[in-house]
A and B are shown apart, each in its own frame.
Chain A
C-alpha cells in the first residue's frame, strides 16, 4: 500500500552505485601491479594474495591496525561512560546554564578538526602524551562526547520518570539505580552511542595523523607509504584499504537491528 513506484529499481541502482567502487577496490587488491597497470580486467585473471601477504608479514603495517583499534576502543569506552551521567542530568533536571552548556558541547562537534590540529599537537606534546593512543583518544573525545551525550539524552528521555521515582522509593541508591535499572532499559541506546563513537573515531584521520609519529601511527597514515620513488604500489594500497573496511562491516553487522533508530539519534 502506498509503495513508491519502481522502488525495487531505484534501490537496486543505488546499491549498485554504492558497491561498484568498493568492488573495484577489492578487485584490485587481488591483482598484481603488472595486471593493474597494463590491462583493464573486470576481475583478477591471476588472483594473488601477495598484496595481503605484504601487510600481514610487516609489523609496521599490521601494528598500525592495532594502533588504530586501540585508540578507537579507548575513545569509545571513555566517551560513553562519561556521557551517561551527563545525559541523565540533561534529560531529567533543570540546572544553572543547562541549555547553554548543551549547546556549547554541541559546538565542539561542529569545530573543524583542521582548527584544532596544531593546538592539539602543542598541548599533547607539552603533557607528554604525543605519539600515544591516549592523545588521539582524548582528542577524538572533543567531537564524540557531545554526540554521545546527544544520543543518550534522547534514549533516556524515552524512559518514564516514574521508573526512577519508584526505584528511589524502593530504597535504591543513585549508583545502584543507574547500573541495575536504567542501564538495562537503555541498553540499545548505549549500543548506538558506542557505534557512533566507534564510527567517528575510526574514520577520522587528520587529528590521528597529526598526534602520532611512529609508535601509535594509525593505519590510515601508514597507507600513504605506498607512494614511493618506484611509483605507486596500487595492489598493496588496495589491500590495505580493503582491510580497513572489515572492522566497520563487523560493527554494522552487530548493530543492524538498531541502526535505523540509532541514526535518528533516538529521537524519532
Chain B
C-alpha cells in the first residue's frame, strides 16, 4: 500500500513518543551520566571519562573478565536455545491439528507456559528438578543418575535449557502455526497432482510460507534469551559458582548488589549496544524479506 506524505501524522504519534521518551530517554541519560563518573560516596561524583569502558572492555581486569565470561555464557545460551526451539517449534506446528476440538485445546495448552510469571516458571523448575521433592530429579536419581543442579554446572545448564525450551518453544510453534494456516488448500492440491513428496511440500511450500514468522520468532527469542534474568536466577541464583551467571544477572549484581554504579552503567550501555546492533541487522533483513514478498505477489 502506498503511503501518503503527511507531516501532521506526527500529532498521532506524539503521545506515544512523549511517554516512551519519558520512560526511556531520561533513565538512559542517567545511565550514560553514571558511566562516565566515579564516586567516593556521599553523593559526590567526579568525571572519570571513558575509564569504566576501558576497564570493561579489557579482559585482563576483574570487571572485564566478569563481563566477557558472562557475555560468552549468554551467547552460548542463546545459541543453544535457538538451535533447539526453532526446529522443535516447526515440528510442533506441523503436528498441530488443523480443525476440530483439538485446535482450541492444543492452542490453549501451548500458550499456557507463556503466561506464567517468570519467577513462577523458575519456581516450577526449581521444585521439579530437586532430587528430594521434584518429580524430574527424583526419577533421574531412581534411574541411577547423580543429577544435581545445585552442585554440578552441567546439570544446572541442562535444567535451565530444559526450562527455556519448556517456556518458549510454544511461542515459535504458535507463530509457525499461524504461518501454516495462511497456506491455501489449493497449494496442497496442486502439489498432490504434481506428485510432490512430503519433503518437497515442506521445502517448497511450507517453509517459504513460514519464513516471515520464523524471522519474527528468531528476533523475539534472541532478544529475550539474551536478556534472561528471572528464571535462571530463581533456579540457580547464577551458580554453581558463576556457571549460570548471564549478563543480566551479572549486571543486577553490580548495580543493585554492590552499588557499583559506574561499572554497572558502562556495562549497561555496552550490553544495550550489542542487542541493538544485532537486532538492527536482523530488522533490516526482515524488512527486506517483507518487500520481496510484496513485489512477488504484486498485491498489498
A residues adjacent to B (C-beta < 8 A): 1-2, 4-5, 7-8, 10-11, 14-15, 17-22, 24-25, 28, 36-37, 40, 42, 78, 82-83, 85-86, 88-90, 92-96, 98, 101, 103, 105-120, 122-123, 138-139, 141-142, 145-146, 149, 157, 160-161, 199, 202-206, 210, 219-220, 223, 234, 237-238, 241, 244-245, 247-249, 251-253, 256-257, 259-261, 263-265, 267-268
Tell me which residues across on chain A come within 8 A of B174, comparing CB atoms: 259-260, 263
Shortest distance from the beta carbon of A32 to any chain B beta carbon, whole Å: 13
Contact B216 A241 (CB under 8 A): no
Distance, CA A160 to CA B299, complexed state (A): 12
Decide: A113 near B229, CB < 8 A? Known: A2-B201, A17-B166, A205-B119: yes
Q: Please list 22 pairs of residues, one from A and one from B, whose beta carbons are closer than 8 Å in the complex, sorted by A's number.
A: A20-B135, A37-B132, A82-B16, A86-B15, A93-B4, A94-B5, A103-B280, A107-B276, A110-B276, A112-B248, A112-B272, A114-B252, A120-B23, A149-B16, A199-B114, A205-B117, A206-B252, A244-B117, A247-B115, A249-B115, A252-B107, A268-B179
Are A119 and B227 also in contact (CB < 8 A) when A25-B127, A223-B123 are?
Answer: no
Which of A25, A28, A199, A268 contacts B182, CB < 8 Å? Answer: A268
Report chain A residues within 8 Å CB of B150.
Answer: none
Minimal beta-carbon separation of B197 from chain A (angstroms): 9
A-B contacts besides A37-B133, A111-B24, 13 pairs, CB < 8 Å: A1-B189, A83-B16, A85-B13, A94-B4, A94-B5, A94-B9, A114-B268, A117-B255, A145-B16, A146-B20, A238-B127, A263-B177, A264-B216
Cβ of B198 and Cβ of A2 under 8 Å apart?
yes
- Pick the interface stretch among B47-55, B75-83, B87-95: B87-95
Can you list, as one digit per residue, whether each of B217-228 has a CB less than 8 Å from chain A (1) or not (0)?
000000100110
Is residue B279 within 8 Å, beta carbon to beta carbon, of the partner chain? yes
Cα A185 to Cα B7 with chains together (Å): 25
**Given the interface contacts A14-B92, A206-B229, A206-B230, does A90 sit within 8 Å of B13 by beta carbon?**
yes
Interface check B12, CB cutoff 8 A: yes
Which among B3, B124, B226 is the interface contact of A92 at CB below 8 angstroms?
B3
Q: Which residue of A has the minimal Cβ distance to B171?
A: A263
CB of A41, distance to nearest CB on chain B (Å):
10
Minimum Cβ distance to chain B for residue A255 (Å):
9
**What CA separation (Å) do A204 and B272 show in the bound complex?**
19
C-alpha gap A10/B136 in the complex (Å):
20
B201 CB to closest chain A CB (Å) equals: 5
Q: Is there a chain A Cβ closer than 8 Å to B96's Cβ?
A: yes
Q: Would A205 and B107 be within 8 Å (CB), given that A241-B124, A260-B181 are in contact?
A: no
Q: Is the CB–CB distance between A106 and B7 below 8 Å?
A: no
B10 at the interface (CB under 8 A from A): yes
Q: Is the CB of B252 within 8 A of A117?
A: yes
Interchain nearest-CB distance for B74 vs A (Å): 11
Chain A hits for B19, CB < 8 A: 78, 82, 138, 141, 145
CA distance in complex: A201, B3 (Å): 33
Taking a contact as CB atoms under 8 Å apart, the answer to whether A105 and B16 are in contact is yes
How far, in Å, is A31 (CB) from chain B's closest CB?
10
From A120, A248, A260, A263, give the contact of B116 (CB < 8 A).
A248
Q: Say which residue of B23, B212, B226, B279 sits within 8 Å of A106 (CB atoms).
A: B279
Taking a contact as CB atoms under 8 Å apart, the answer to whether A18 and B118 are in contact is no
Knowing A89-B12, A95-B7 are in contact, say whether A108-B20 is a contact too (CB < 8 A): yes
A259 to B93, CA, bound (A): 13
Interface residues of B in 104-134 (CB under 8 A from A): 104, 106-120, 123-125, 127-128, 132-134
Would you call B127 and A234 a contact (CB within 8 A)?
yes
User: Whole-angstrom distance from the CB of A149 to the nearest CB of chain B?
Assistant: 6
Q: Which of B1-52 contact A (CB under 8 A)?
A: 1, 3-10, 12-13, 15-17, 19-20, 22-24, 26-28, 30-31
Measured in the bound complex, the distance between the Cα atoms of B108 and A263 in whole Å is: 13
With A2-B192, A117-B255, A157-B1 known as contacts, the answer to whether A264 contacts B12 (CB < 8 A) is no
Assess whether B143 is interfacial by the CB under 8 Å rule. Answer: no
CB distance from B125 to the nearest CB of A (A): 6
- Verify B268–A86 contact, CB threshold 8 A: no
Which residues of chain A are near B135, meaning CB under 8 Å? 20-21, 24, 42
A15 and B109 contact, CB distance less than 8 A: yes
Q: Would B91 and A4 count as touching, CB distance under 8 A?
A: yes
Contact between B229 and A105 (Cβ–Cβ < 8 Å)?
Answer: no
Contact (Cβ within 8 A) A256 B13:
no
Is there contact, CB below 8 Å, between B133 and A115?
A: no
Please name all residues of chain A whose beta carbon is closer than 8 Å to the beta carbon of B123 when the two chains form the complex.
Answer: 25, 223, 237, 241
Q: How far is the CB of A110 from chain B (nearest CB, A)?
A: 5
Most buried by B among A2, A15, A42, A108: A2
Please tell me if the beta carbons of A11 and B27 are within 8 angstroms of each other in the complex: no
Chain B contacts for A142, CB-based, 8 A = 20, 23-24
Chain A residues, Cβ within 8 Å of B115: 199, 202-203, 245, 247-249, 251-252
A197 CB to nearest B CB, Å = 12
Residue among B223, B256, B290 making CB contact with A117, cutoff 8 Å? B256
A213 to B188, CA, bound (A): 58
How many angstroms from the CA of A141 to the CA of B119 in the assembled complex?
20
